[in-house]
Structure 1
């Protein structure tokens, strides 16, 4: 079972939002990460399910089978689990659920900000540093390595 932390960063509706994910194995070692920007996103609440879409699309394409998606957005998780309560995002939620159906097993877990700091930092690099190029890469970005290593060694307990 892989863990997939999802982060998002939003400034305002006239700029790009950033979304990111970082996957880890059962021991906490980083497997892969990604970031992407989206234009003309109306709110931070819209940015959060876009992060879930990018993560679910990516991990299904990478042929992951069992994934626990972790996010600081309780609302985005609820939207995916109870789409009828969020009609404004229905087409996006349906697209997310279609990608999730390609996985053998998945779940969504709400985590505190400290447990999601790597994915949030990658997403913030889009809006803060204007790094709009999307990519998927193995491991983690070098500038984030100290935090990833702390998490792996258990210095910071995510749960």
Structure 2
């Protein structure tokens, strides 16, 4: 849904993005977290979802319904911030976050000023300092289907809540 927000790319940046896509994830990261948000204008809240992997093994799924945001971009930023808090609370300190919101990834990577997003961007920056090694990269929507489905599913719920599904407790405990 974040694609409906006006783009922040200049033509030159857009061309550079096509020629120089986001760098490949750091293969030394033990953890990888795919994040997504679901936003509908006439809704009582947003859906947020993440899938945490150790190497290529799915370890944890999280979903949360949060209060409605102004735009899909705000929802994507809130979702990333929430996922960062959750994986940090579980002791993951070297991690690659993956989002299908190219605009958000671009704003964060290029340290673009975006006044309307400033509070959540400040929170993301503060969370970033808690990790030993953190990267953020853009992935296609087709590569982010699970997190997308979690976010859509939870957005349709009546009340705000969080739910976590541990897929591999032994890996998560280490």
- Normalising by structure 1, report the TM-score: 0.80
CA distance in 2 between partners of 1:77 and 1:13 (Å): 26
Alignment correspondent of 2:41? 12
Unaligned runs of 5+ in 1: 141-159
TM-superposed CA distance for 1:107, in Å, is 0.5
Alignment correspondent of 2:105? 77
Partner residue of 1:23 out of 52, 56, 75: 52
Alignment correspondent of 2:10? none
Q: Which structure shows the higher helix fraction?
A: 1
Partner residue of 1:120 out of 132, 148, 151: 148
> Are 2:84 and 1:56 aligned?
yes
> Are 2:125 and 1:93 aligned?
no
CA gap 1:21/1:130 in 2 versus in 1, 3 angstroms: same
Question: 1:123-138 counterparts in 2 under 5 A?
Answer: 123-130=151-158, 132-138=160-166
2:100 and 2:138 in contact (8 A); partners too: yes
- Normalising by structure 2, report the TM-score: 0.73
CA gap 1:50/1:19 in 2 versus in 1, 3 angstroms: same
| The structure with more radius of gyration | 2
Moved runs in structure 1, 4+ residues, more than 4 A?
A: none
Tell me the C-alpha RMSD between the 2 structures: 1.8
